[in-house]
Structure 1
Amino acid sequence: MTIDRPQRKIIHIDMDAFFAAVEQRDNPAYRGKAIVVGGRPDARGVVATCSYEARKYGIHSAMPSSHAYRLCPQAIFVKPRFEVYKEVSAAIRRIFSDYTELFEPLSLDEAYLDVSAVSRCQGSATLIAKEIKERIRRQTGLTASAGISYNKFLAKIASDINKPDGLYLITPEQGPGFVEQLAIGKFHGIGKATEQKMHALGIRTGQDLKQWPLPLLVQHFGKSGQHYYDIARGIDERPVRNFRPSKSVGVEITYQEDLEDPAVILQQLLDLMRKALARLAAKQMTAHTLTVKLKYHNFVQITRSKTLSQAITRVEGFEGVLADLLKDTEVGAKKVRLLGIALSSLDSAAPLNWRQLDLFDY
């Protein structure tokens, strides 16, 4: 005898142009204007987010601020106020907690909520989403978009359909057909490189992807092949988790002037590694994988990684490892504008094994 489990009800809440909306809320002179939150265009900054008025000019997150300025010289560039954004985000999460303990923040401005067992609003996920949106508007003065479906993948896509201030439902009956007509570039989690690879293989829509057998997807996309096979059929069993363990600890910096000297770059990476280790120590964790991130002057970005059998707990002895990682790059031939260090493959550490790390520059 087969017993069907209750259908899940997942909501994805995504704040609309969050940082820029907060700035427009707090400064009436910014309302209706093209607002860019991020670094200054004359200081090698990057766009954190921008208002919908700025997006009409083609400005988007992660774009160099200098490029954003060229697209829209009249845009107002605003320095981020992360403490304010964190306060607003905390208020929004308190609203979530009134409905369910099963909410999973993805960032300051978005989260998944599992409301499968919630009895409020007659148990209707759509009515719950409407109520949450209205409470966010009333308590913060901001708008949010909501996507409702039976899994995370479809809820995430649904929240982006009618932005800003959107609300969209994809039912279990609609899910498979909805995915079939969806362009591959609209699939959450499929980036530009994977999209181009799929296009080269003749996969342009969910229906195209659905035609591919699992062994062939695994052959071309490795372990991600199973995920692509499932989502092409509207299947996503990932649970909403209210605890997100750290997967990595990292530090990066964009320099006012490009770096050229390999010796200087190596020293900068050692300094960044000390800071990353300090953050790791505060979490009482160890790492086994060291990743170097480089962004050249032309904005091409690469990473190089090495996994070690012993735990990484100190900088001493790692100059040679970093130097080896740099050998497989164009350091010395190309100028570098950004450096980063990430520590991953994390494990809990026994506190007694930790030495005090230097916490300078904090």
Structure 2
Amino acid sequence: MADRDLLPQNDFSRRIIHLDMDAFYASVEMRDRPELAGKAVVIARDPRKTGGHGVVATANYRARKYGVGSAMAAVQALKLIPARELVFVEPDFAKYRRVSGQVHDLMHELTDQIESVALDEAYLDVTRSKMPDKSPLQLASWLQERIFQDLRLTSSFGVSYNKFLAKMGSEYAKPFGRSYISPDRAQAFLDRQEIKNFPGIGKKTQERLQKEGVLTGGDLRAYGLDRLLKNFKKAGYYMALHAYGIDLSPVRASRQRKSLGKERTFEPVIYDQDRARAYLRDFSKTVAAELDQRQLLARVIILKLRDRNFKTITRRQMIQPSRDPDLFYQQAAELLDKEPEFLAEGIRLLGLSAGELEEAHYQEISLFADE
């Protein structure tokens, strides 16, 4: 029996869009700061000001041509990019969240079946859209054009009958590109793709496959289901599915977040308890405000600590369902007091999260409101 006969059947009736903003953080900064035009923009703290510390959040395409990418040590960008072109921009995640919200508002004009993967990436199920007179490709093109016209930002999209192929398409099209992978063309498209382009196949797995002559999607199919299962277990099964363009996972709309939090990394580290408490109070207010906006309550407060030696711990405290910033601060401060060795060693990272979230089914009122 052929491998394909052992695998599940595709659902060709679905229409999925994968939207991916192009170099999102860097593009927002370039839009807001015209003087960055023509520069290699790296979103990270300048390592010349942090003693060589810091990690790249993202980089624009000019910087990427020099080999700079996300999660790279920021100091490496100094070695790769000529000084006359390089500009470090400290990330402003509050701004990026606001812009992401504007992008999502436009998405909701097409459908409410939206699965957000990150601030700059989402899947949309437009099988039954709010614009039934438009084809999936027309819907995605409309969205891309509106983002460019309204927000002055570029994006790329892929359209197909499942999430895996839609994402493959958007990655294939970047930047400011568009692709449509139809059922009759999917196999030919996958067969010629390098395995490094397959989402979910990491570098170590790529190296193992390449040693056995597996370089493309076509090679992956030829490698065979039995060998994939034997050598890669569960991951091998998913590789076989993807080699045939099979993905039955749904677009999970409005996924309930398990926690909301805020954290900060300190360079240099901090030793002062009052300073740490001040940050916890600020974090408490920020987290409580976001819970209030989302009409959520928290049952757990979580403190995260990392010292200068990169030892990291989390401590949890159960509370009655609440979004009271004073309560959050009180619990976090008490947890901090129980870990004096972290202040003694120096705190590199401090974070506060609210967990085990639930919807608030009542309206909070004050018994002492002004008449």
The answer to whether the superposition gives a TM-score over 0.5 is yes
Task: Give the match for residue 243 of structure 1.
Answer: 254
| 1:223 equivalent in alignment to 2:223 | no
Task: Give the match for residue 45 of structure 2.
Answer: 39
Task: Give the match for residue 197 of structure 1.
Answer: 208
- The 5 A counterparts of 1:13-24 are 13-24=19-30
| 1:131 equivalent in alignment to 2:142 | yes
Task: Give the match for residue 323 of structure 1.
Answer: none
| 1:143 equivalent in alignment to 2:154 | yes
Task: Give the match for residue 342 of structure 2.
Answer: none
> In structure 2, how many angstroms separate the alpha carbons of the residues matched to 1:31 and 1:154?
34
The letter for the 2-side match of 1:59 is: V
Runs of 4+, deviation exceeding 3 Å: 212-216, 245-258, 281-287, 291-297, 311-317, 337-343, 346-349
User: How many residue pairs end up in the alignment?
Assistant: 315
1:9 to 12, 15, 23: 15
The letter for the 2-side match of 1:56 is: K
- CA spacing shift, 1:296–1:146, aligned 2, 3 Å: farther
The letter for the 2-side match of 1:82 is: F
- CA spacing shift, 1:340–1:218, aligned 2, 3 Å: farther
Shift of 1:120: 2.4
CA contact (8 A) 1:248 1:342 kept: no
The letter for the 1-side match of 2:122 is: A
> In structure 1, how many angstroms separate the alpha carbons of the residues matched to 2:37 and 2:28?
10
Alignment deviations for residues 89-146 of structure 1 (CA, whole Å, 9 cap, x no partner):
1111011101101111111111111111126263411111111011111110111111
CA contact (8 A) 1:250 1:340 kept: no
The letter for the 1-side match of 2:55 is: V
> In structure 1, how many angstroms separate the alpha carbons of the residues matched to 2:54 and 2:153?
26
- CA spacing shift, 1:235–1:252, aligned 2, 3 Å: same
The letter for the 2-side match of 1:185 is: K
Shift of 1:198: 2.1
TM-score after normalising by structure 2:
0.69
The letter for the 1-side match of 2:79 is: R
> In structure 2, how many angstroms separate the alpha carbons of the residues matched to 1:240 and 1:116?
11
| 1:155 equivalent in alignment to 2:161 | no
Task: Give the match for residue 187 of structure 1.
Answer: 198
Higher Cα radius of gyration? 2
- CA spacing shift, 1:292–1:17, aligned 2, 3 Å: same
> In structure 1, how many angstroms separate the alpha carbons of the residues matched to 2:244 and 2:150?
39
Task: Give the match for residue 60 of structure 1.
Answer: 69
Q: Tell me the SS of whatever aligns to 2:153.
A: coil
Shift of 1:48: 0.9
Alignment deviations for residues 189-227 of structure 1 (CA, whole Å, 9 cap, x no partner):
212122112223432221222134434323322322221
- The 5 A counterparts of 1:52-131 are 52-72=61-81, 73-74=83-84, 75-118=86-129, 120=131, 122-131=133-142
Gaps of 5+ in 1: 259-267, 305-310, 318-336, 352-362
- CA spacing shift, 1:154–1:139, aligned 2, 3 Å: same
Gaps of 5+ in 2: 1-9, 270-275, 319-330, 336-346, 361-371
CA contact (8 A) 1:9 1:151 kept: yes
Q: Tell me the SS of whatever aligns to 2:129.
A: coil
Shift of 1:162: 2.7
Q: Out of 156-165 and 120-129, give the one that drifted further.
A: 120-129
- CA spacing shift, 1:251–1:206, aligned 2, 3 Å: farther
Fraction of identical pairs, as percent: 38
> In structure 2, how many angstroms separate the alpha carbons of the residues matched to 1:286 and 1:27?
40
| 1:49 equivalent in alignment to 2:58 | yes
| 1:29 equivalent in alignment to 2:35 | yes
CA contact (8 A) 2:42 2:88 kept: yes
